[in-house]
Structure 1
Amino acid sequence: MGCADSGSPVRSNPDGEMKIFVQSESRGSYVLEVDSSNTIRDVLATILSTKRLESEPEPVLYFNGQKLEMAESLAAYGIQDCSVLQLECTLWIYHCVIVSEKPNPILGRKKIRITGWPFTIWEEEHDKVLLGLLVEQIRNGGRESLDVGKDSWSDMAARFNESTGFKYTEKQLHEHFNFYEREYQIVNSIRNHQKFSWDHHRQVGIATDADWKEFVMEKFEARPYRRRPVPYIDLLEILFADKKESEIVVSNE
């Protein structure tokens, strides 16, 4: 199966409670209710038996192409609401006997629950649709047309849902907009870092391990962007670069 990329941006949840997706070619897919303090082992222990978890070959979870270490927390990898993890786990038979694989108890942290709660997996193509609508709106109605409560959000929600077949509310789409703004601030700090360079082909920052470690100690929220590409950075630039410049002008005055 190999490393897989979720293709989905992470969404923040200040309370730590969230829902994530675990996809697997051999075992199907899961929607899990988790807490950001849960470890990678907690997630695996929820969907695999103890014997399977400790057998060879070892099951592995990936997020944005990165192999996740068992002892690390979800928060350590920037895994948040709506994130998609990939499970690499071969079919397994214990001594040729069918074994009931029951989820294991999780101690010391919030217990993970498998739930049938329906939620849309957000893909890169959905970013393109929403960002396209946002850029069109800002060009036609100005930046103020993207403020909360403006009628423009009702129109964009209708057009987004018609294009994708989803049923997102204005509020949910505005949360994505807020995420884009935070993401732009993070990526811009990477692009403008004196010790980093920017790979325009892959749309990722280039840094030595030492420089990156020093950087994320001060800017922990940038940790997921060590290797995560941001293919729509040009659209984020249109949405937020001018706003940043105008705020600088106002503050200088």
Structure 2
Amino acid sequence: MKIFVQSEFYGNYALEVESSNTIEDVFITILPIGRLKKDPEPELHFNGDLLEIERSLADYGIQDGSILHLECTRWSFRTANEREWPNKILGRKNIIITDRPLAIWEKEHDKILLGLLVEQIRSGKKKILDFENDSWHDVVGKFNKATCLKYEDKHLHERFNFYKCEYGILHNIKHYPEFSWDHQRQVVIATDATWNEYIKGDPNAKPYRRRAVPYIDLLEIVFGEKEEWKIMISNE
């Protein structure tokens, strides 16, 4: 899966990782040895939480598309051209740096992209989901104009596929008899015992044990059955 790390001094990274990789693995992939060993210690944060170095990405519900924030001051190397990299990760798959993106996906981008998809659906252009007509290109153009970014079709396709997967997980969660949905906080309400049992059958649901999904209504319009989203639109 691909995650992103955003930092002020060390740039932005797109990383190919596995859920078993640890927070330490991320550190040693993007920071040189010298900086890792000096105070103040680098910190990684996800959804406002400080991540403990020995724990795995899975422990924090970090999944495809997640954004981590690196708090780390600059470090002066011994020579201008020297860059010391840490030892290889042992016992787990090495993390691969796939890109150094100029921009990282933000929560506000979800609202904009899904809003544009809903706009197309309301215009009777449901076939936008096939990516094979001018409607999709129109969405990409409007998205880039609204965000002042330069995402290509393929990048927004990847985000769309993430939404589709997320909708499938959330749809099952919302229809599970022992779960309830807090519409104000946009989170699932259930006992720990219920969650533990449910995750045994669907491990992909684990991140949503605590994650809020503020755009779930938009997901239901985009991916729900035709009758379902027509009712939602008429009630607005």
TM > 0.5 fold call: yes
- Establish whether residue 20 from structure 1 lines up as the match of residue 4 from structure 2: yes
Give the superposition deviation at 1:80: 4.4
8 Å contact from structure 2 (residues 3, 67) kept in 1: no
Q: State whether structure 2 residue 197 is matched by structure 1 residue 214.
A: yes
User: Partners in 1 of 2:91 and 2:103 — Cα distance?
Assistant: 30
Paired amino acid for 1:23: S
Quote the residue 1:3 is aligned against: none
Q: Is the 8 A contact 1:49 1:103 kept in 2?
A: yes
* Shift in alpha-carbon separation, 1:68–1:244, aligned structure 2, 3 A: farther
Q: 2:181: which partner in 1?
A: 198
**Percent identity (aligned):** 50
Per-residue displacement from partner, 1:109-142 (whole Å, max 9, x unpaired)?
A: 4444667722521112111111111011111133
Assess, with a 3 A threshold, how the Cα gap between structure 1 residues 153 and 198 changes in structure 2: closer, same or farther: same
1:178 offset after TM fit, Å? 2.1
Call closer, same or farther: CA 1:195–1:171 in 2, change over 3 Å.
Answer: same
Shift of residue 204, structure 1, vs aligned partner: 0.7
Q: For the aligned residues, what is the CA RMSD?
A: 3.4
1:224 counterpart = 2:207: yes
Indicate how the Cα distance of structure 1 residues 49 and 32 shifts in structure 2: closer, same or farther if over 3 A, else same: farther
Unaligned runs of 5+ in 2: 230-236
**Counterpart secondary structure, 1:61:** strand
The answer for the alignment partner of 1:137 in structure 2 is 120
Distance 1:32 1:235 in 2: 27
CA drift at 1:59: 5.2
Residues 212 and 102 of structure 1, relative CA distance in 2, 3 Å threshold: farther
Equivalent in the alignment of 1:104? 86
Partners of 1:190 and 1:196 within 8 A in 2:
yes
1:67-121 Cα shifts (integer Å, max 9, x gaps)? 54444443554534543113456x699xxxx896944212244444667722521
Closer, same or farther: CA 144–216 of 1 in aligned 2, 3 Å:
same
Query: How far off is 1:52 after superposition?
Result: 4.8
Equivalence for 2:161: 178
Q: Normalised by the size of structure 2, how large is the TM-score?
A: 0.76
- Preserved CA contact (<8 Å) 2:125 2:135: no
Matched, 1:162 2:145: yes
Question: What letter is aligned with 2:86?
Answer: N
Structure 1 unpaired stretches of 5+: 1-12, 247-253
Is the aligned partner of 1:35 residue 2:9?
no
Query: 1:141 is paired with a residue of what secondary structure?
Result: coil
